[in-house]
Structure 1
Amino acid sequence: MKDKRRLGNDVVCRCITRTGCKAMIRVTLLKQREWVIDKFYDIHNHPLDPPSHVLKQRSHSIFHRSNECKDAVSLLSKAGLSASQITKIVNAFRGNEEDKLKRVQCSNIINSKKFNLGRECHGIIMHFKEKAKHDHDFYFDMDLSKDGTLRSVFWADGRSRSSYCNFGDVVVFDTTYKTSKFSLPFAPFVGVNHHGQSILFGGALLENESEITFTWLFKQFLKYMHESHPISIITDQDIAMGKAIGKVFPKTKHRFCAWHIQKHVLEHPQPLRSRFDDFEDTYNQWVKCQNADDLKSQWKDLKEKYNIMDDSWLGNMYKMRHFWVKTYLKDTFFAGMITSGRCESMHSFFDAFVNSKTMLSDFVLQYDRAVSSRRDVEEDEDFRTLNSKPTLDTDHPIEAMAAKCYTRNIYDIFKKEWKATSDCGHEKISKDSDLVKYRVGHFERKQRKLENC
């Protein structure tokens, strides 16, 4: 209502409607002190909308405000679908009605609940307490600020602890995934099981990626996992993360992700490649050195030949060579992993359950659904292994024993290696009371050597 004027017992009001139309109404006061509208002056200042445009007016679009629509959108949103996907599904079920749900309207419904970190924290606590009622091994802890605001949270269930006891030799850790409404880094602890599948040992939402935050998280993880240190851990080249690992996991071999290292190798030494044609070959030969003494010796030659400074990228990488050069890592068990690709694939998997608008309380719910889905796949492989037998290529007792001891997926890996051994021959080199030495090689190569002689 724009303004009003009193004329005796009448009140004349001038207003502008939501569609931009001007109108005047006259309200009369009766003796019983009741107001009655007795005249309406319709004064338009623009052409009327055609019938096809009427339903596009906010006042005529009513479906998105109905409980039916809100309930459907909320249900699909909790299942992890995006606003665009929900809009298509809801409109498909409604048929060809003109008053369809729009993507913006769908987003408004999803975001209609006020995002409040305190409320989100309360929702997470209630969810975790409910889980603890059914899983006595469920564990969670929160790092709170002085005013009670959530900083970070770590959680893991009993199945995760059991998995870690069986397969926790190698842990892959990554914090590049950010999907929650508050952009908190999601940090999963990932391993590999007896089928070669990725499994989750626990998850965390972190305030930041500082050394203090990582130290708190790793201590919580170690506390829940019976103070059992992993043999090795694979991460990206993060300084704060590395310092925290050194403090909390001093017995664990820390390895940098080979994919990230290779990415930087292609970028930083490029000026040296441009200036020296032989740099690429010399560098690769140095990296593949089989022992530490040769590596150090060749580094001196490499440094002098190409004038590499100590404070350059390559110079700094040499100082951290124990975390990425193969000769320092070949004696440590990494379960066949050299990159954080397990976490990357897990991130892609979580994309089916969460998106950038997912609230924290919903995020932990979707985490449970994602983990449950992964475990269903693991149980399928367990069933397949227990209720079927692999086909053997030979009658050798070693292959028969491997087929009996290994799961089908691991046996397939062994089978390729076993088949390759059939192309190898061996000859005795020396023998003493305690040790017999053999030389092993491919038959084809051995035959060529004999022919050349």
Structure 2
Amino acid sequence: MESNLTLDEVTEQSMVFHEDDDVFIAEETRDSLDFQQAPIMMLEPKKGLMFDSEDDAVRFYNGYAKRKGFGVVRRTTRPSEDNKLNYFTLACSRQGKAQYSSNNSFKPNPSTRMQCPAKSNFSRRGEKFCITSVTIDHNHLISTSKARFLRCHKKLDLHAKRTLELNDQAGIRVNKNFGSLVMEAGGYDKLEYGEKECRNYLQETRRLKLGARDANDVYQYFLDMQSKDPDFFHVMDVDEDGRLRNAFWADARSRATYESFCDVITFDTTYLTNKYKVPFSPFVGVNHHGESVLLGCGLLSNEDTDTFLWLFKSWLCCMSNNPPNAIITDQCKAMQNAIKEVFPRARHRWCIWHIMKNIPEKVSGYEKYENIKYTLSKVVYDSLTKHDFDEAWLQMIEKYDLQDNEWLDGLDDDKNLWAPAYVKDTFWAGMSSTQRSESVNALFDGYVHARTTLKQFVEQYGNALRDKVEKENKADSKSFQEVIRCITDYDLEGQFQAAYTNAKFKEFQDQLRGKIYCYPTLMDKDGSPLMFRVREDRKIFL
């Protein structure tokens, strides 16, 4: 059966949007149509179209935009005196004037805005909404096939959410989880979402939970591991009622690795605390490939000084009471107090990345914020000596009237804990921040899932560690089998080529390339200290 209805035959009064059909149908003819055979009318926005609710209006315009191939953004809204919505506008997402945030005119960032005029205005009519004006034409190309990549047209349905959760519980990684949905739908273009939406949804639903029997299960797991590996180390801290408060463990390989790479460690508790509500606390070092290595980890119930004292003492005992030469952490006062007591001779350094990322929050209120931010970065990174730093810092404070800024004042008091010019007297193995810890934490993205128990997490830690070890073995094999050729005839470079892994040798060659183009000349042989003039050749592209 075919319907002979035309748009002109559908009266303005009978046009009502129905959610289940996602189209407009004449109300008086709806019951008489055979919807299995009748062609569904795909209407464009038209002045006078009525909608039962705001949601119906938005759903209609989004559906129209997706069919045509453009994005939608909500613009003007106008509430009434009784706080009800009276008026709103749905426009093409490319409406508005282009805005470029990049300060470098030679590297402009892209902008989607190009002042597109397409839009529909909606006004309240009693309890319904009516289109009062419409602009159909766009000033840019639109594409139906590319509309699925626009954020406004992406949504996860209930089936997808349930499938993602079940596969996640089964330990299937996000990329394969998403791949199964693609195969089921018959292609990427059949889905209304992408892998990023799946990943974001799972991150919101994941929680690492402590079950009632987890403490006993974890203890049994530790005993089982120790029976297989006599050098497996573990400590559990329980309260008066026998409930688990803190745990620390390290396998034999982590303990052996620390014997070779005990110079510097980083310690950070923020990653799983932020993502899974559990303060996972890894001790991280760096190996001969420049890669992060796990040196044991703890699970903490609190982040006070007593808890860190317990953890640091447990870790030190595990490592045969051999403290590191240097340690990098964030600006946690409780952590700082514990380090002073447990590692009194270790050089302690704050993560400079955490400090510098706080600049917008701490100084954005000043009129010359951009100038302050630029100057502060130059003071921090370009000062070669303590004297240079102190002098440049004082000039910055005076120039921008920052004497009352408590954050900057506190940083100046503790500059020996973070300023590069003040910590360069210590070997840091190429590390300056706790982001080493975060790179290790990222290993667990594929192993920690929704409703993971504490026992399962501890077991998955072993799986993640084995994965990390295998990657290190591959890097060892690559350095053993492959040789990076020398770029000079210096014997010194040949010695480094023979002694270093490929990754570290590349770092050395980067420094060597810089030296090749520099020509130092001694200016005053009798002076103290010696003074050199350095000429550097640079290639200029015209």
TM-score computed with the length of structure 2 as normaliser: 0.58
Deviation at 1:141, TM superposition (A): 0.2
Which whole-Å CA distance do the structure 1 matches of 2:447 and 2:429 have between them? Answer: 28
> Which is further off, 387-396 or 250-259?
387-396
Which whole-Å CA distance do the structure 1 matches of 2:178 and 2:536 have between them? Answer: 62
> Which is further off, 261-270 or 195-204?
261-270
Deviation at 1:213, TM superposition (A): 0.7
Residues 310 and 316 in structure 1, CA contact (< 8 A), matched pair in contact too: no
Which runs of 4 or more aligned residues in structure 1 lie more than 6 Å from their structure 2 counterparts after TM superposition?
A: 73-76, 179-182
Q: Which residue of 2 aligns with 1:368?
A: 462
Residue identity opposite 2:269 in structure 1? T
Note closer, same or farther for the CA distance 1:443–1:404 as it changes in structure 2 (3 Å cut). same
Q: Which residue of 1 aligns with 2:498?
A: 404
> Which is further off, 286-295 or 365-374?
286-295
Which whole-Å CA distance do the structure 1 matches of 2:343 and 2:248 have between them? Answer: 17
Picking from 337, 340, 362, the partner of 1:243 is: 337
Deviation at 1:210, TM superposition (A): 1.1
Residues 363 and 369 in structure 2, CA contact (< 8 A), matched pair in contact too: no
Q: Which residue of 2 aligns with 1:199?
A: 293
Q: Give CA deviations for 1:68-118 in whole Å, capped at 9, x if unaligned.
A: xxxxx9997464657x949958x97xxxxxxxxxx9xxx9xxx9xxx7645
Q: Which residue of 2 aligns with 1:189?
A: 283
* Structure 2 residue matching 1:226: 3-state secondary structure: coil
Which whole-Å CA distance do the structure 2 matches of 1:313 and 1:368 have between them? Answer: 41
Note closer, same or farther for the CA distance 1:285–1:185 as it changes in structure 2 (3 Å cut). closer
Any unmatched runs of 5+ in structure 1? 1-72, 93-102, 446-453
Matches within 5 A, 1:251-330: 251-272=345-366, 274-275=367-368, 279-280=372-373, 282-284=375-377, 286-287=379-380, 288-296=382-390, 299-300=393-394, 302-303=396-397, 306-309=400-403, 312-330=406-424
* Structure 2 residue matching 1:271: 3-state secondary structure: coil
> Which is further off, 202-211 or 170-179?
170-179
Note closer, same or farther for the CA distance 1:241–1:277 as it changes in structure 2 (3 Å cut). closer
Deviation at 1:347, TM superposition (A): 2.1
* Structure 1 residue matching 2:416: 3-state secondary structure: helix
Q: Which has the larger radius of gyration?
A: 1
Which whole-Å CA distance do the structure 1 matches of 2:478 and 2:340 have between them? Answer: 41
Identity %: 34
Picking from 298, 316, 321, the partner of 1:227 is: 321
* Structure 1 residue matching 2:297: 3-state secondary structure: strand
Picking from 404, 408, 420, the partner of 2:514 is: 420
Which whole-Å CA distance do the structure 1 matches of 2:353 and 2:265 have between them? Answer: 16
Residues 181 and 359 in structure 1, CA contact (< 8 A), matched pair in contact too: no
Deviation at 1:271, TM superposition (A): 2.4
Q: Give CA deviations for 1:382-437 in whole Å, capped at 9, x if unaligned.
A: 112223322222332111111110011111111121222221223345669xx996
Q: Which residue of 1 aligns with 2:230?
A: 136
Any unmatched runs of 5+ in structure 2? 1-164, 185-197
Which whole-Å CA distance do the structure 2 matches of 1:220 and 1:79 have between them? Answer: 31
Cα RMSD after superposing both structures: 3.5
Deviation at 1:310, TM superposition (A): 6.2
* Structure 2 residue matching 1:131: 3-state secondary structure: helix
Which whole-Å CA distance do the structure 2 matches of 1:158 and 1:237 have between them? Answer: 31
Note closer, same or farther for the CA distance 1:249–1:279 as it changes in structure 2 (3 Å cut). same
* Structure 2 residue matching 1:142: 3-state secondary structure: strand
TM-score computed with the length of structure 1 as normaliser: 0.69
Residues 171 and 449 in structure 2, CA contact (< 8 A), matched pair in contact too: no
Residues 171 and 190 in structure 1, CA contact (< 8 A), matched pair in contact too: yes
Note closer, same or farther for the CA distance 1:276–1:361 as it changes in structure 2 (3 Å cut). closer
Residue identity opposite 2:491 in structure 1? P
Residues 424 and 440 in structure 1, CA contact (< 8 A), matched pair in contact too: no
Residue identity opposite 2:534 in structure 1? G
Deviation at 1:208, TM superposition (A): 1.3
Residues 286 and 299 in structure 1, CA contact (< 8 A), matched pair in contact too: yes
Matches within 5 A, 1:327-342: 327-342=421-436
Which whole-Å CA distance do the structure 1 matches of 2:210 and 2:377 have between them? Answer: 53
Picking from 473, 477, 488, the partner of 1:394 is: 488
* Structure 1 residue matching 2:213: 3-state secondary structure: helix
Residues 169 and 449 in structure 2, CA contact (< 8 A), matched pair in contact too: no
Q: Which residue of 1 aligns with 2:534?
A: 441
Residue identity opposite 1:363 in structure 2? F
Note closer, same or farther for the CA distance 1:181–1:330 as it changes in structure 2 (3 Å cut). closer
Matched, 1:217 2:341: no
Which whole-Å CA distance do the structure 1 matches of 2:486 and 2:385 have between them? Answer: 38
Which whole-Å CA distance do the structure 2 matches of 1:297 and 1:87 have between them? Answer: 57
* Structure 2 residue matching 1:187: 3-state secondary structure: strand
Which whole-Å CA distance do the structure 1 matches of 2:392 and 2:515 have between them? Answer: 34
Deviation at 1:281, TM superposition (A): 5.5
Deviation at 1:167, TM superposition (A): 1.1
Matched, 1:126 2:126: no
Deviation at 1:444, TM superposition (A): 3.2
* Structure 2 residue matching 1:243: 3-state secondary structure: helix
Higher relative contact order (CA 8 A, sep 6+): 1
Q: Which residue of 1 aligns with 2:116?
A: none
Matched, 1:147 2:244: no
Q: Which residue of 2 aligns with 1:50?
A: none
Residues 138 and 158 in structure 1, CA contact (< 8 A), matched pair in contact too: yes
